[in-house]
Amino acid sequence: MTLAAGKLNRRITIQQRTAGQDAAGQPVLTWADVASVWANVAGDTGLHTIRASGDLPAPVKRYSFRIRYRDGLNEGMRVVLGGQNFDIKTVRMDFAGRVWTDLVCELGANDG
């Protein structure tokens, strides 16, 4: 089984947190690119979460990004698409066929 190239129609960037320094030499956490890959973007379901600031329900949208099989991805990373940051919540992998990896992400919860 293969993953048809035509279905992978969105270019995404996968990022991870990395330690760096600001202009004053103080340690800061920043985001660094891990990979830029083609993906198929699916779904979005309306979830609601309570934000700590104000305890008001805020919409959280969930998306799945299917990419070619790739090791080394985890829930501490994020996906960037069209200037928006998607927090990776679950990494699902096709261990049997080693064809695809699904990145189940949320948009609207925080900055990634």
Q: Backbone dihedral region of 80: left (phi > 0), alpha (psi from -120 to 50 degrees) or beta?
A: beta
Question: For residue 6, what pLDDT is reported?
Answer: 85
Confidence of residue 87 (pLDDT cuts 50, 70, 90): very high
CA dist list (Å): 84 to 27, 67, 102: 25, 18, 18
- The answer to pTM > 0.85 is no
**Is residue 63 within 8 Å of residue 88, measured between CB atoms?**
no
Lowest mean pLDDT, pick from 28-32, 64-68, 104-108: 104-108
The single-letter DSSP state of residue 7 is G
* Segment 81-90 mean pLDDT: 95
* Segment 16-45 mean pLDDT: 91
**Is residue 91 within 8 Å of residue 70, measured between CB atoms?**
no
Question: For residue 20, what pLDDT is reported?
Answer: 87
What is the share, in percent, of the chain residues with pLDDT greater than 70?
A: 80
Confidence of residue 69 (pLDDT cuts 50, 70, 90): very high
